[in-house]
Structure 1
């Protein structure tokens, strides 16, 4: 049985892509609610499924490392080859075995070239490594000082380019839900309807279900039994509608149409509102300008940007969603959805310790400036009181410093 790859065991099992952490940080990108299929299987090692293959990813300062596990079909073929080789070897003489061994090594070396290139391309596509994140941060920083402060701490948050079917049906599960529960639901969905890929450390990994599997008439009842509630009907009906009305390639085809058209098309599906449609547009359909708006983003807009429209409302209407989206698109530009993801990530409870470092760093600089101002004030007071008694001067200096320091502390608390 295969074991989860660990980088400390050596680099023999790993392949790599040049990628600095300012361009990608796995612990932020894979855990901020974009995809729900990644787990940290050991410290700094993330295991999940991309393109019907199981991957473990980790990184060093300037390199993204990846290991791809053989799926069940590949493992079976490997075992068959070994059995055939064992049977035939009894009938071959030593010279023939040596010759065939050399030929086999050469064949394996040639065959291995293509999968490595394919895997690297899949990884680059999944993380959209063609987009220069540092350049985006520079652009955002000029337009938005608040985002610059957050982005200086939360570097490396990228938008994934997921399979549209997986992205859509995962986000249908997000209605009135939280990340950890969504992860469990998506995992049960894959176990119930997806194909098994491989087993690693007694954990079986599954491919995401196909549209055909999701559209089956028995799916709703089966998913209700698994705790999906009303979402079970939306999942089955959306898959059925896509196949009957549009065809299996329709979702991927939405990548080539304008953002408003893609969002409108998605909203015709059962269980797909504006927020879910925007998530799918941003995270799988190449619509970098899409800004998904939920209660988190609404609070960010009101709290950090003094966004007043709809402030008296209790729910997010379609108009409010559009207004907030346009506000941020005008502020951040064509990659507004990427910028929003940085603020969304920073607002998650699991990352609050990182955000606290931002609050600590900024006041520290302000404190140093204010303390310097206190010293300057005290120095001027000393010059004015020069010639008076030492005791009296000492009291003046002490009172000045205490008063100024007290003011500094009160200002910082407010």
Structure 2
């Protein structure tokens, strides 16, 4: 399902807001004119509906936004036999899984533990300003694992990441020393890749699967947080993540985004009576 030359059609199936505000990334900010400005792999970008055609001519950004993959066909196949998944996919058909830098994704989802998106963005921003290379006026690259590996928890105090600091240090040291080889995890069997990430102090299955999906582009990975567990229990009772197949991660993103935007689906009869629904 790689690129077939019909890039205009794929551009039409790509929505900036759905992609950049679905909880998979934390370094993009919406501007007053509706455009988005962010940093990825040391590159600064402002992208809008008006300039995205030109932006996506650049091979790096075309790959970053996963334009070569035919999401329309994947969405149709996922939805074919499941009306609930069809509704979820239809709610955000322009959402795509970004090709983020693996180390950045690992750190970002360590920071995400027991946290909300505004606070995660703040922590990531302070982390970059404090330890990343300056790449433009007010912009910083994501700090390298090798630099963070030489720090201590006190050094990370200005980031205000709390208990997560020691987890970041563990991740940095294992990555810098080659104990966790992120590049190798792109092709390792999924259980083996997950197990390797979980050797990092503080990384459980949810953070490992987020890293696999959002940083290593392992589209079969299916992160399960509180929302997803509730969604699976309510909307897909008895169904296992593996049943969604090789693109389970894309299905997960449709389900997650749909569920977060439709909390009424999870109101119990008792709760409904209490609020007069």
TM-score (norm 1): 0.59
Runs of 4+ aligned residues of structure 1 deviating over 4 Å after TM superposition are 19-22
Q: Which of 203, 206, 221 is the aligned partner of 1:275?
A: 206
- Is 1:294 the counterpart of 2:207? The answer is no
Distance 2:53 2:133 in 1: 26
In structure 2, distance between residues paired with 1:18 and 1:223: 45
Q: CA deviation at 1:256?
A: 2.1
Rounded to whole Å, the distance in 1 between the matches of 2:178 and 2:184 is: 14
Confirm whether residue 253 of structure 1 aligns to residue 204 of structure 2: no
SS in 2 for 1:182: helix
Larger helix percent? 1
Q: Which residue of 2 aligns with 1:223?
A: 156
Counterpart pick for 2:106 among 165, 168, 181? 168
Aligned residue runs from structure 1 range 12-411, under 5 A: 18=8, 20=10, 22-59=12-49, 64-65=52-53, 120-199=58-137, 204-218=138-152, 220-246=153-179, 250-307=181-238, 327-330=240-243, 332-348=244-260, 351=261
Q: 1:221 to 1:44 in 2, by over 3 A?
A: same
Alpha-carbon deviation of 1:297?
A: 0.3
Q: Does the 8 Å CA contact 1:296/1:344 hold for their aligned counterparts? A: yes
1:34–1:283 CA contact under 8 A, matched in 2: yes
CA distance change for structure 1 residues 299 and 271 in 2, over 3 Å: closer, same or farther? same
Asked if the contact 2:10–2:67 (Cα under 8 Å) also holds between the matched residues in 1, the reply is no
Change (3 A) 1:66 1:54: farther
Tell me how far 1:22 sits from its aligned partner. Answer: 4.8
Asked if structure 2 preserves the Cα contact closer than 8 Å seen for 1:56 and 1:66, the reply is: no
Q: Which residue of 1 aligns with 2:4?
A: none
Shift of 1:127: 1.5
Count of matched residue pairs: 261
Query: How far did 1:292 drift?
Result: 0.2
Higher RCO structure (Cα 8 Å, ≥6 apart):
2
TM normalised by structure 2 equals: 0.86
Whichever of the two has the greater Rg, that structure is 1
Report the 3-state secondary structure (helix = DSSP H, G, I; strand = E; otherwise coil) of the residue aligned with 1:124: helix
- Counterpart CA distance in 2 for 1:22 and 1:343 is 21
Equivalent pair of 1:172/1:235 in contact (CA under 8 Å): yes
Q: Is the 8 A contact 1:39 1:46 kept in 2?
A: yes
Structure 2 unaligned blocks of 5 or more: 1-6, 265-275
SS at structure 2 position matched to 1:54: strand
Question: How many angstroms does 1:238 deviate by?
Answer: 1.6
Q: Secondary structure at the match of 1:333?
A: helix
For the 8 Å contact 1:159–1:338, the answer to whether it is kept is: yes
In structure 2, the partner of 1:389 is none
- The SS at the match of 1:251 is coil
Deviation at 1:236, TM superposition (A): 1.3
